[in-house]
Chain A
């Protein structure tokens, strides 16, 4: 078993494309769920809207990639309003039901035959990312050091992705320390109390939903451009659940929680994957127990186990404040 390359892969995963994608998606979810207490179970749809915004506009409509960005962002705002207007006046669970259903509707529409002309159906779309890579200032070559070595294309998308993560985290910090952020946290605790103090709770929840959705859409841009392909089944409910895992792992309602959570999530996945495969290859695990084809599933079981242990022994996540969580609201 090559421990060196397993560790090097795990380290590379800490700053990899998946980490950026999930960090951004979870940063958006943090605004909605972490601060405002909105149960958005459709974050995958916001990501899909960002991905397809670029892919459809460039590949199908033949428009420049900047148009795809604008269309993605506008569509995401529209989608958030569509979800929020009927549900945000109701009890919290209605938003959860509506968002999980709407997110599946988006995915199934994207992979349907009838819309295939616009979305590429179940095959998805490719060939839309060149506009983005044409902007790449790095000449061809390899950049980085040690385990973090990449070609010029990957370096470019990593740079853009991490700049986005940094900007979103900075913006989250700036607005959450403000009185606006305080109202949001109040709503998370008890919206009637906040209403009784003269705040328009509905408007605040809508703002949080739209804002978190927009950040999810940014994740979609990185997702589609980084892979240079979109495929509808990447935006299934599992994406949303992993995003929740990432958020809880890092600690909800903490600015950097989602970023650290995403890094840990992907490092652990890479590490367990490498170790299990290595152990099977070395013959330490009998074939009857596990084969290499099952490793992909087993590592998610281990992540599930780790999450359970975390919830039991450190329910506040890595960054959370235990005192805050220990208080019983009612």
Chain B
């Protein structure tokens, strides 16, 4: 049990040790029970036509830990992410967040309950200033109701408090000098930072990052990694999708591996990367078949073609969804 979630701002690394300790005895099998899960998903299925993009039997995310969700392209990671955060609807399945049912709850309500996400393609609102972006992230704003909007007296003091908090967060992310610039003028990495800072404005319990390192200048990588670790030190749960294995190894306490929509392995980073199921998922199940045998090669070609087609179909569906 991560018993010290209520401890005052802990020294660097304390919560990492707590998370490691809590997860030490968890069996390294897909769907393993965690001592203190914040998210529990059961039988989540999402089909796109004939293709089953996600079919997760059971998965639990440990509170206060950094969990990585990895897997080859087309494994269904982002789709699963979209399902959990209400941006897509499942065909079947249930999941709960902090004990309350969250399946089929619209995206904005998911965020209000304390589960905030970022996107693979950063969504900095480019024609708003950096500060306005931040203020948009604050929750429970009185002035966001149309009836009260016209009367500045009602929301001015809250706005001031939010602005102070926003500037403090921007300071932490080293964006305070950019506060009055349009977000569109930031670099790719700065936009990622802004998106993360903006998500923190609402004091979320769970932060879900979809490929936080994609397209980030290597010089900013270390600082971004530091910020993600920092989230854990402040008692937040982090779930992230990532391709960069060095990053996964560096910061995650637990790794969930998906392939073809299913969870195929779970465990701490080191043990997961040695798991044969994971190697198979990444390199394919055919890497030990000899290609000199003609009949075997022909058969292999067929299966590979079928898989590629399925993947293309999934990709196209995904693209279609993004455009919509």
Contacts and interface: CB of A to CB of B under 8 A. Distances in A.
Interface residues of A, number: 36
Interface stretch (A55-63, A182-190, A290-298): A182-190
Given A178-B155, A207-B146, A330 B121 contact: yes
A197 B139 CA distance: 8
A189 to B, nearest CB: 4
A174 B155 CA distance: 12
Interface string B141-161: 111111011101001000100
Contact of A201 (B108, B142, B202): B108
A171 B152 CA distance: 12
Nearest to B184: A327
Interface string B115-158: 01111010111111000100111010111111011101001000
A328 interface: yes
B182 interface: yes
B173 interface: no
A202 to B, nearest CB: 9
Nearest to A325: B127
A53 to B, nearest CB: 23
Given A180-B149, A329-B184, A198 B108 contact: yes
A168 to B, nearest CB: 12
In this complex, which of A174, A195, A211, A329 has the most chain B Cβ atoms within 10 angstroms of its Cβ?
A195
Contacts of B184: 327-329
A325 B152 CA distance: 28
B106 to A, nearest CB: 8
Nearest to A191: B123
B144 A183 contact: yes
Contact of B137 (A197, A201, A207, A327): A197
Nearest to A253: B127
In this complex, which of B107, B142, B148, B152 has the most chain A Cβ atoms within 10 angstroms of its Cβ?
B107
A174 B135 contact: no
Contacts of A179: 135, 141-144, 149, 155, 159
B127 A192 contact: no
Nearest to A183: B144
B121 A197 contact: no
A249 B118 CA distance: 36
A181 interface: yes
A329 to B, nearest CB: 5
Contacts of B106: 200
A82 B113 CA distance: 31
A178 B126 contact: no
A287 interface: no
Contacts of B201: 197
B172 interface: no
Contact of B108 (A189, A200, A329): A200
B108 A195 contact: yes
Main secondary structure of the interface of A (DSSP, over half): helix
B146 A194 contact: no
B87 A329 contact: no
B187 interface: no
A177 B132 CA distance: 11
A289 interface: no
A329 B182 CA distance: 11
Nearest to B86: A195
Contacts of A324: 127, 182
Contacts of A195: 87, 107-108, 111
B79 to A, nearest CB: 15
Interface in B57-88: 85, 87
A196 interface: yes
B303 interface: no
B229 interface: no
A330 B141 CA distance: 28
Contacts of B148: 178, 180
A207 B116 CA distance: 25
Interface string A316-330: 000000011101111
A186 B127 CA distance: 8
B82 to A, nearest CB: 10
Given A179-B141, A189-B127, A190-B123, A327 B182 contact: yes
B143 A180 contact: yes
A193 interface: yes
A318 to B, nearest CB: 18
Contacts of B141: 179
A199 interface: yes
Contacts of B111: 195-198
- Top 8 nearest A-B pairs (CB, nearest first) are A327-B184, A193-B123, A198-B111, A180-B149, A179-B143, A178-B149, A189-B125, A198-B112
Interface of B: 85, 87, 106-109, 111-112, 116-119, 121, 123-128, 132, 135-137, 139, 141-146, 148-150, 152, 155, 159, 182, 184-185, 198-199, 201-202, 323-324
Interface of A: 90-91, 171, 174-175, 177-183, 185-186, 188-190, 192-201, 207, 211, 323-325, 327-330
25 contacts: A90-B324, A91-B324, A171-B150, A174-B150, A175-B150, A178-B143, A178-B149, A180-B143, A180-B148, A181-B149, A190-B123, A190-B125, A192-B107, A192-B119, A195-B87, A195-B111, A196-B118, A197-B199, A198-B139, A200-B108, A201-B108, A324-B182, A327-B184, A327-B185, A328-B126
